[in-house]
Amino acid sequence: MTKVSFAASAPSSAKKVTIGAAAKMRVETARADGEKFYKYLQAKKLDTVALDMGGMAPDVAAEFADGLLRASYTFNKYKTMSQKEGPQDVTITTSAPQAAETAFAPLRSTTESSFWASDLVNEPANVLNPATYADRVKAELEPLGITVRVIEADEMEKLGMGAALAVGQGSVTPPRMVVLEYDGTQGAEKQPLALVGKGITFDSGGISIKPSTNMGNMTMDMGGSAAVAGAMRALASRGAKAHVVGVLALAENMPGRHATRPGDIVKSLSGKTVFIGNTDAEGRLVLADAIAYVQQKYNPHTVVDLATLTGAAAAALGDEFAAAFTNDKGLMSQFNEAAAVSGERVWQMPLTESKVAAAAVRNTPHADLTNNSGAPGALTAAAFLREFIEKNKNGSDKRKFMHLDIAGPGMPKTELKGWGVFLLDTLVSKFYEQKAAANQNAPKPVRKHKGPKL
């Protein structure tokens, strides 16, 4: 990660570079310009650089700096040979360095939180398993004022999390449920926003084993949980005045001698029973218990889950968009706006409109639901998860619900960055954060990226 700072004059040791078009740069495009300029510096093989931005406005300089920082991410932890991926130290000289630094601070905290989440996504499964993942999250987030509770397998069993436990039965490392609570409202907001993340640290498919081709990428099947953990870090780092609870549903899906079999029936925390039609449809099982738990324990007004869930979503939308399924038009509008600002984009798919999907997940003779209801996979997976949203007496959903299938952008073919931290942080900033004037740490609005209308 490149060190980016502001100063009134350039350090004597730095290579001085003047950006001639700096005065014409706009806040709407500054971050993208910063990302492009980082690549220029990288191509020039410059190490310590001072960029003369002259009288550039502080908010523009902050966005430009954030672009430089975002472009600098690499994961070379396990490379033993010396690596110089790009400039190591960039000083931006401007006439108002303190104001620029103040504007940059919340952007920096979110970008660094995204990098931390990306590191989690890129760790190999022999390093990051449910136990070590939980330990790493606790060590990182507790010092920031986030309450971290790790529910281990024996307690999960006592609580009745039979669906999540079934996924990890074949692994030598039992599942974990990690619960994160951040309340920047000091108790003023009683009902939190709930974020739930799928955290399968390695997905072999279990007994329904995957083909060997590209199975090595299944270390990234915990991208949804990394996004939730990273977003919680970002909120706490910048002192967001919001009440948010995150749940990381962690398990390793392996074909061991104790592994769950196709045909097994398990009882979830909600009380609903599930027929295991395919052990490779495991993500929806861990999410089912996590979604039930956060509702029972915290009574959130809204439940959002993120999961690298189905190849069908990736096939439909590629790496560029996450598939968004929701029961609330207003919530969809919020996500569209947050996606446009953050650059992490979503595309709405049907959920409440499909009676076929809802019927398909209930189409099993010996249990309440099945985890393998057939095509269309992304839609039936979303319908399955909706079954675990608590209901009113009239059968309607008790809470707003958003399911993001991030199989495309969360497991990209070309980049190694985690996905979702910027989206979630922007969502909270714009719609779930107290807007009192005293909130000096709230991030400044960032530009809307040009692109297709969402």
CA dist., res. 197 & res. 305, Å (int) = 6
* Helix, strand, coil percentages in the chain from 3-state DSSP, rounded to 5: 40, 20, 45
Structure-derived torsion over alpha carbons of residues 161, 167, 169, 175, reported in degrees to the nearest 10 = -60
What are the structure tokens assigned to 126, written together? Answer: 């022999």
Residue 91's identity, in one-letter code, is T
**Distance in angstroms (rounded) separating the CA atoms of residues 290 and 389:** 11
Rounded Cα–Cα distance for residues 289 and 293 (Å): 6
Residue recorded with tokens 């779930």: 432
Cβ contact 380:283 at 8 Å: no
Alpha carbons 416 and 418: distance in angstroms, whole number: 7
Active-site residue set: 210, 284
| Phi, psi for residue 101 in degrees, rounded to 5 | -65, -40
Torsional class of 341: left (φ above 0), alpha (ψ -120 to 50), beta (otherwise): alpha
List strand residue ranges (DSSP E) for 60-132, in order.
89-93
> Kind of pairing, strands 302-307 and 193-203?
parallel
Order of strands across the sheet with 15-18? 3-7, 89-93, 48-52, 15-18
Cβ count near 74 (within 10 Å): 16
